[in-house]
Structure 1
Amino acid sequence: MLLFLWNKPTWVCAFLTYCTMVSCCGLLTSLKQPVPLKSVEVEVEVRDHVATVVSTLNYENKEDKPLEAVFVFPLPGDAAVCHFSAKIGQTEIVAEVKEKQEAREEYDDALSSGRQAFLLEESDQSPDIFSMSVGSLPPGESASIRLEYVTELAVQADEGLRFSLPAVLNPRYQPRGSEGNPVQVTSVPASLVPYSLSFSARVSSARPVSKVESNCPLDPLQYLNTEQTQATVKLSAGHKFDRDVELLIYYKDAHQPTAVVEAGQASAKPGTLMGDPVVMLSLYPEFPQAVMSSVASRGEFVFLLDRSGSMGSPMSNNGSPERIDSARDTLLLLLKSLPMGCYFNIISFGSRYEHIFPKSVEYSQQTMEEALKKVEEMEADLGGTEILEPLKHIYSQHCIPNQPRQLFVFTDGEVTNTKEVIDLVKKNSGSHRCFSFGIGEGASSALINGLAKEGGGHAQFITGTDRMQPKVMQSLRFALQPAVVDISVKWDLPEGVSVTDLSPPITALFQGQRSLVYAQLTGQSSEAAEGCVTVKYSLAGQPSQNQLCYSLKPAEDTGLTVHRLAARTLIRSLEMEEREHRGEGDGGVKKKKVVELSVQSGVSSAFTAFIAVNKSNGEAIQGPLVRRNVPTPMSIAASSYMMRMAQHMQSGPAPHFVHNKRRHEECCSEDDDDVDRFLLMDGLHDELNSEDDEDEDEDEGESVLMDGSHEFQELESDDDHSLLQRSSIDPKQPPRDPLLQLVSLQKASGCWVLDPALAAALGKTSEEVEKHKPVAVDEDVWATILALIWLHGFQMDAQEEWELLAMKAVSCLRAQRAAGVTESLEAGNTLLGCNVQKDILGF
């Protein structure tokens, strides 16, 4: 956590010390102190679409004084942490779940009395950040910490299941006016992380495992049986902490509806969640094709784009384009793929927000061209990550009748008001569907998944060498599906068995996408008994249903995974209800229920923590306790930015920044408590790139870096580029991608026109194109057929990106009752050297 304030030379020195630390190899903390965390070992057990993760963290105190090691690290936002224990020598201490404040007090009391204690708690601000405190580790002592959690695996566009082990934790930006203290994160570049990681995964399913892919180097997949239903895979040696570890798991014919019934815990009381059987349904709805094909595509499409300073960072560390560049290209594809008759708008945000149109406008050639012109001018120059205000603005706009609102959110940010943002989306979930995209390493899984889950949409993550465009276009396909309404789940169970729903009501269904439902079964049934569940809904005014029948016999050896995931689902719902009704005089009833359920199930929550105290009769640990913050890896983008910031700071304050003295006096008191809201990494990056705030004076001459919740002011200049862009020599712009060059020429109607730009995009001269045109064929028909041939002949690897706009082109020709399609196809194949058949184009 960093803070740089004018007239605060101590903090200036601290900042420069940190920047020097970044550039020195082998330096472990800002004060050159050893880090007690030595290694992290991760073992993953994947069963179908659920993963159990066991992490072992090995600590060793090589100093001559007792230590308290504090480690702030990321976990998946929907993970259910269900076990925490410590082993010191031959003594194992298993933690209990207790109310958070009670656990903290017990931890502090243990340390003050010289006993060893271990505390694990979820951040108050975001469920994907945890803090682990290892207290009173004596000199020369070692400790092994075991952390276990279970998590669901998300279904990807290509039907793979995504498992992600978060490694990168970029410090979170604290929006202006947000409550609470930000999580204090000690981040260092991947090359300076002093501990190692070993990772292995075991995959098993009722269906064969076809392949496992990763964004990190893996050892070859090893099958454990001839049926290939079990396999293991390991992370290759030498992994660096410059990215999250992602596995994509593919089963043969995996995405079929399934049900797993898990027996309750033998020691738990019948009638309770942990004492009764729990069923987990995995539903994959199949919509009637006749209904799907008969529905006209329409809607109001609102694209919310992050233009904070960090969007100027590269997608990865291998010469990939900047995030903002990729986002601009994606918006081009999106705008070209929208159906005629819909409405749209583009809103971008940073420390403030801007919209292309005051309200959504009808999609036409004129409005599309106007929007694309503005998109081309967009840069990562709007400062911080203030996502809440533009969302409020969007929801303040009245919905357009018969045009269902579809919100697309693009951000690489991590914010401290995650829960507030998600609550706002849920509050407005009845008026729209929200599709979210996390860009780059370290994007908050709680934010991205929460936006989509509460907004009834779909979440995607773009990391490493991933291309943004195919993932976004997959979500556009979902958005173009008709909204499913009147969803209900009906249970048919044997006499004497009752059901209690544990999942919130299903609010969204998409063709072929999974929905998970948890329910508690109370009562007795024979092992041969069966149950059925029927999901009913209305699609395009027609009632439809999908049914699944399953055995009530409990599955063997599930390790209470289903119960814990069900508990986590119920806990999250209760937490959200507690936030919604806070201050309404209910006396914290929902909070009390969360604590009770968390303690009963042994699953973490926002209001509880895991606490373990070594109560053996050993001697009390003597001497003052020294705190050591264990660093987490920051993304490549963040660390490279810090290097450049160090150069600027060491050469003195940048002359083009001015400080508004009145604002400084308002936000920075002499009380250290007020300035303890440290500047977060993304906030530093973003605020350094922010533009002038319209409300502020510009004639004060003092320089200052403000804390992360306030604006940094920049003088107007001839160009409007960020500090990062001004401080480096712009490389020669690479030639535009041929696909995007062709797409950029398409009209809103879906057709192309015959002109020199199209000929160039096809790699031909205007004379060649004119010469091969059939005499009786209209020029636009000829141009459109050529574009379609080129796409199918040379760009099949990118079909997911252009498929929708190609379908629009075919629809355009059909609407015109275009003549000469066959002749144009034959002539176009000859000109372009292809062999594309008429039926492939969709005619």
Structure 2
Amino acid sequence: MSDCCGLLTPEKQPVPLQSIDVRVEVRDHVATVVSTLNYENKEDKPLEAVFVFPLPGDAAVCHFSAEIGQKHIVAEVKEKQQAREEYDDALSSGQQAFLLEESAESPDIFSLSVGSLPPGESASIRLEYVTELAVQADDGLRFCLPAVLNPRYQPQGSEGPSVQVSSVPTSQVPYSLSFSVQVSSPRPVSKVESSSSLEPLQYLNTDQTQASVKLAAGHKFDRDVEVLIYYKDAHQPTAVVEAGQTSAKTGTLMGDPVVMLSLYPEIPRSLESPLTSRGEFVFLLDRSASMDFPMWAGSHLTRIASARDTLLLLLKSLPMGCYFNIYSFGSTFENIFPKSVKYGQKTLNQAVKKVEEMGANLGGTEILEPLQHIYRQPCVPKRPRQLFVFTDGEVSYTKIVLDEVKTNSDSHRCFTFGIGEGACSALVCGMAREGRGHAQFITGAERMQPKVMQSLRFALQPLVADVSVTWELPDGVSATLLSPPITMLFQGQRSLIYAQLTGKSQSSDAAQGCLTVSYTVADQPSQNQLHFSLQPEQETKQDTDQNDHLPFTRFTIHRLAALTLIRSLEMEMNDQEQYNDLKSKLVELSVQSGVGSVFTAFVAVSKHDGAVVQGPLIYREDPNYMPMLRGGMLDYILYELNETNATESSEPPRDPLLQLVSLQEASGCWPLSPALAAALGQSSEEVTKTKPASSKKKVWATILVLVWLHGFTSDAKVEWELLAMKATLWLCGKRAEWIPECVEAANSLLGCNVQKGELGL
């Protein structure tokens, strides 16, 4: 990797990217993003630059344009080879041209070629994309503007170039960033939060269904900008119908209305029995060298340390009678047991000991081989397999990994966790999508444990089978499902469904539609319904005024639906016999919808009259959009640096909650010990002396911990609730008459006021 790559002057100074302006419009569960990038060529020769940058893996690029001086150029989506030829022809004839392409290795990487930028000239490049917003553990919708692009890790002997960029120190980032968000929803906006500093939230109407917020001045684009949006009544299902383009042919995707339905199926709680689940749990942990980075800037907690703590919490929260195994990977992979073993005190002790020894010392990020090894292992009969994947890394063969997960999706559910800034959204979201599971991202100062425990709750939910979707529509109207069939439902998980509406209702009244999702849980049928209007949403004058100020591309829902179809076609292209037909369909859909794909590109060529650009072209690459670099091929370098430049550093003290978690036994109880007393902030003598005489030691210790958890860490209940339920079940099994006396004594010792009923006893 070159130390001197970048958009450079003859003196090897960065060619300035002057500023970045990002404006986001969030409508319910989806977002339209407009990014404007302003460049200036301060060299004395024409310049060709390549600007590589990340986007969310599920984003649909739908507009690309540029302004050079008084010239405005709008790009068109064309078949990739055709677009490249037009771009090259334009450059050879001295015309200004731009080319935007999606990486063939991963759908969240784009490269932007800026051709023939004259000396002293400025260029303003505008990029628009639409994306779905992921739902987080606390019901917040997450929007992330990536500031980091990891180089794709490329295994030895594999073919194809890896995306390579070099690091720019934060103090030398030569451009400014402005960032604003507008939110509108049928439900009131309760709050907007961010890991970066925001200006106060401004409501735009009295019912608080519209709001705006901006990034505070002085932000350095040295990390991802993450925004969390919270609605009141977040789990209420919604439907939005978007009218088609008047210029498009009726009967096509862009010419017909498209409906987006947001569903939160309510699985009957009477069918949930999380602690009696008898699944098989397989944990796959990234141990590449980048996992030794801090969780966030200035943190003493490394990613690998946080992952170890989280694995410990997961292990302690597993139900008795399940099976489990733990894999870890880098350039090679390891597994604790030859095959999954039954969960009990002995196997738990073995696993905990191995986890505590795990370091970020396995080199690169080769996830495919351990995945294949896991899939080759026979599933434990009548034990649904649940795969948990933790990674901060990047791979150059994302699509191959996703194919592997999809091929084995009938035998397991896959839950993924992207750790730290710049985790690959295509890999993390794609594995969860193809594995019928759930994806989470841990960035900034977030704790990993709450999000992971939410996914464990999903994994502990009973398997949902026989999922079907039926439509009830007026005569003359039909619906064509554009989303992949729903194969997995979780209590509390949102599903977005896109469908094309064809035909017109014969009724003069506002037509209504109904969607019914039916499924079976524990051999019991259940269903959820959503009634919605078929009338497309009309733009209000306020929308128009806002669009004058924030000129967003329309047809957000159509383009997300097109992206859904494009991704589905891409996943089918392993079939060599149908490859050419599928490619033709994909290219046609991409061109018609204006949504980029791996087989198409945006190309813009200036058609204006005037003098051609004179002089030879200078070819440069611009890494400045990615000031931080993590993972991938640098893992080896980082590992060597850590080995040779290691310094003494004291580990931060473990928090009392994790100390208590580490002491819990597999059955759910706690033994009475000096370590337990210390974690509770008490002396061993005091804990022993206050124990009711009739109580058994483990009963007393377990009640002490439960009272402490409820009394002092109620805000972290999502982390310890499952292991507390195990403890409660253990206590109930003892049928101890002295439990009320123990609860009273524990409150007295710890200074709490927790009632027996709060403990579930």
The 1-side partners of 2:453 and 2:579 are apart by 46
The 2-side partners of 1:547 and 1:585 are apart by 40
Structure 2 residue 592 is the aligned partner of structure 1 residue 576: no
The 1-side partners of 2:579 and 2:207 are apart by 56
Write out per-residue CA displacement over residues 371-415 of structure 1, whole angstroms, 9 at most, x where no aligned residue. Answer: 000011111000100000000000000111111100000001011
Letter of the 1:312 counterpart: D
- Paired residue for 1:685? 635
Deviation at 1:817, TM superposition (A): 2.2
- Paired residue for 2:592? 600
Letter of the 2:622 counterpart: V
Matches within 5 A, 1:271-420: 271-293=251-273, 296-420=276-400
Three-state SS of the structure 2 residue aligned to 1:178 is: coil
Letter of the 1:530 counterpart: Q
The 2-side partners of 1:492 and 1:161 are apart by 30
Letter of the 1:128 counterpart: D
Write out per-residue CA displacement over residues 746-779 of structure 1, whole angstroms, 9 at most, x where no aligned residue. Answer: 1000001112221222222222112111111111
Deviation at 1:587, TM superposition (A): 4.9
Gap runs ≥5 in structure 2: 540-552
Give the TM-score taking structure 1 as reference length. Answer: 0.86
Matches within 5 A, 1:132-151: 132-151=112-131
Deviation at 1:832, TM superposition (A): 1.1
**2:661 pairs with one of 725, 731, 743:** 743
Three-state SS of the structure 2 residue aligned to 1:595 is: helix
Three-state SS of the structure 2 residue aligned to 1:102 is: helix
Deviation at 1:30, TM superposition (A): 10
Matches within 5 A, 1:803-822: 803-822=721-740
Deviation at 1:725, TM superposition (A): 4.7
**2:602 pairs with one of 607, 610, 622:** 610
Does structure 1 conserve the Cα–Cα contact (< 8 Å) formed by 2:300 and 2:652? no
The 2-side partners of 1:492 and 1:505 are apart by 18
**2:180 pairs with one of 186, 200, 215:** 200
Structure 2 residue 49 is the aligned partner of structure 1 residue 77: no
User: Residues 571 and 31 of structure 1: is their aligned pair in 2 closer, same or farther, counting only changes over 3 Å?
Assistant: farther
Structure 2 residue 742 is the aligned partner of structure 1 residue 760: no
Does structure 2 conserve the Cα–Cα contact (< 8 Å) formed by 1:315 and 1:321? yes
The 1-side partners of 2:101 and 2:337 are apart by 44
Does structure 2 conserve the Cα–Cα contact (< 8 Å) formed by 1:125 and 1:419? yes
Deviation at 1:555, TM superposition (A): 1.2
The 2-side partners of 1:30 and 1:483 are apart by 62
Write out per-residue CA displacement over residues 585-627 of structure 1, whole angstroms, 9 at most, x where no aligned residue. Answer: 3351111110000001000111000001001121111100112
Deviation at 1:355, TM superposition (A): 0.3
- Paired residue for 2:546? none
The 2-side partners of 1:412 and 1:34 are apart by 29
**1:232 pairs with one of 212, 223, 242:** 212
The 2-side partners of 1:616 and 1:633 are apart by 30
Structure 2 residue 725 is the aligned partner of structure 1 residue 827: no
Does structure 1 conserve the Cα–Cα contact (< 8 Å) formed by 2:274 and 2:461? no
Does structure 2 conserve the Cα–Cα contact (< 8 Å) formed by 1:485 and 1:539? yes
The 2-side partners of 1:792 and 1:294 are apart by 20
Structure 2 residue 528 is the aligned partner of structure 1 residue 561: no
- Paired residue for 2:619? 627
**1:795 pairs with one of 713, 716, 720:** 713
Does structure 1 conserve the Cα–Cα contact (< 8 Å) formed by 2:674 and 2:684? yes
User: Residues 150 and 258 of structure 1: is their aligned pair in 2 closer, same or farther, counting only changes over 3 Å?
Assistant: same
Write out per-residue CA displacement over residues 710-760 of structure 1, whole angstroms, 9 at most, x where no aligned residue. Answer: xxxxxxxxxxxx640551212123322211111111100000111222122
Does structure 1 conserve the Cα–Cα contact (< 8 Å) formed by 2:53 and 2:626? no
Three-state SS of the structure 2 residue aligned to 1:682 is: coil
User: Residues 786 and 562 of structure 1: is their aligned pair in 2 closer, same or farther, counting only changes over 3 Å?
Assistant: same
The 2-side partners of 1:372 and 1:179 are apart by 39
The 2-side partners of 1:28 and 1:135 are apart by 15
Three-state SS of the structure 1 residue aligned to 2:226 is: strand
**2:75 pairs with one of 86, 95, 98:** 95
Deviation at 1:345, TM superposition (A): 0.4
The 2-side partners of 1:157 and 1:433 are apart by 18
Write out per-residue CA displacement over residues 645-695 of structure 1, whole angstroms, 9 at most, x where no aligned residue. Answer: xxxxxxxxxxxxxxxxxxxxxxxxxxxxxxxxxxxx631323663xxxxxx
Does structure 2 conserve the Cα–Cα contact (< 8 Å) formed by 1:178 and 1:417? no
The 2-side partners of 1:735 and 1:747 are apart by 22
Write out per-residue CA displacement over residues 535-554 of structure 1, whole angstroms, 9 at most, x where no aligned residue. Answer: 00011111100011111111
Letter of the 2:725 counterpart: M
Does structure 2 conserve the Cα–Cα contact (< 8 Å) formed by 1:262 and 1:560? yes
- Paired residue for 1:672? none
- Aligned-pair identity (%): 72
Structure 2 residue 493 is the aligned partner of structure 1 residue 501: no
Does structure 1 conserve the Cα–Cα contact (< 8 Å) formed by 2:148 and 2:629? no
Does structure 1 conserve the Cα–Cα contact (< 8 Å) formed by 2:711 and 2:754? yes
Three-state SS of the structure 1 residue aligned to 2:417 is: strand
Deviates more, 1:377-386 or 1:312-321: 312-321
Give the length in aligned residue pairs: 746
Three-state SS of the structure 2 residue aligned to 1:628 is: strand
The 2-side partners of 1:793 and 1:349 are apart by 39
Gap runs ≥5 in structure 1: 3-14, 22-26, 639-680, 690-721
User: Residues 131 and 546 of structure 1: is their aligned pair in 2 closer, same or farther, counting only changes over 3 Å?
Assistant: same
The 2-side partners of 1:83 and 1:134 are apart by 16
The 2-side partners of 1:231 and 1:280 are apart by 22
Letter of the 1:840 counterpart: E
Letter of the 1:538 counterpart: T
The 1-side partners of 2:9 and 2:740 are apart by 70
Deviation at 1:429, TM superposition (A): 0.7
- Paired residue for 1:63? 43
Letter of the 1:554 counterpart: P
Structure 2 residue 192 is the aligned partner of structure 1 residue 250: no
The 1-side partners of 2:65 and 2:292 are apart by 42
The 2-side partners of 1:88 and 1:755 are apart by 73
User: Residues 326 and 637 of structure 1: is their aligned pair in 2 closer, same or farther, counting only changes over 3 Å?
Assistant: farther
- Paired residue for 1:528? 510
- Paired residue for 2:754? 836
Three-state SS of the structure 2 residue aligned to 1:274 is: coil
- Paired residue for 2:542? none
Does structure 2 conserve the Cα–Cα contact (< 8 Å) formed by 1:295 and 1:482? no
Deviation at 1:159, TM superposition (A): 0.5
Letter of the 1:683 counterpart: M
Letter of the 2:20 counterpart: V
Matches within 5 A, 1:169-184: 169-184=149-164
Give the TM-score taking structure 2 as reference length. Answer: 0.95
Q: CA RMSD in A?
A: 1.8
Write out per-residue CA displacement over residues 86-117 of structure 1, whole angstroms, 9 at most, x where no aligned residue. Answer: 12223221111000111011101100110010
Deviation at 1:80, TM superposition (A): 0.7
Deviation at 1:343, TM superposition (A): 0.5
The 2-side partners of 1:132 and 1:204 are apart by 31
**1:586 pairs with one of 553, 578, 588:** 578
Structure 2 residue 438 is the aligned partner of structure 1 residue 458: yes
The 1-side partners of 2:132 and 2:59 are apart by 8
